[in-house]
Amino acid sequence: MGKYTNLAKDIVTNVGGKENIISLKHCITRLRFKLKDESIANDDILNNMDGIVTVMKAGGQYQVVIGNHVTQVFDEVNQVLGITETTDSNSSEEAGEKQGIFNAFIDVISGIFQPILVALSAAEVIKGFNTLFVSVHWYSQTSGTYNY
């Protein structure tokens, strides 16, 4: 019995049980459920549970925001559901067909930019520090440090 077993059981119960879950994936901070009927899920109970940040509904998914320990919770939820293999090519193909052209295009674009997003963010932070240092007169706009 893992550290997040009780949380996983509570999540499965409050999204409508095993019968209501079509598929489950996760990203960096969220469990992403595809549910048969989202109205069965108990949003209020899930929002007030320890270990859950919030619940969102977007893109045909019922998203339970967990935080940094999402992979451990995901593994526990899979054990509760009795899923041994986390990837299923048939379900991903079906999801792609139902997704639509616009959503597939957005997925491709976000997939392209996600790996470089950290580097772009770091560069902007460095530029911000550079501007700050010039404005507090630690060095001038003509210095070599500013030009790099």
Active site residues: 27
Neighbour tally for 55: CB within 10 Å: 23
Asked if 18 and 9 touch (Cβ cutoff 8 Å), the reply is: no
Contacts 24+ apart (CB under 8 A), 20-28: 21/81, 22/91, 23/88, 23/91, 23/95, 24/74, 24/77, 24/78, 24/81, 24/83, 26/70, 26/71, 26/74, 27/70, 28/70
Q: Find tokens 């009795």 and name the residue.
A: 82
Dig out the tokens for 103 from the structure. 């959503």
Dig out the tokens for 140 from the structure. 């001038």
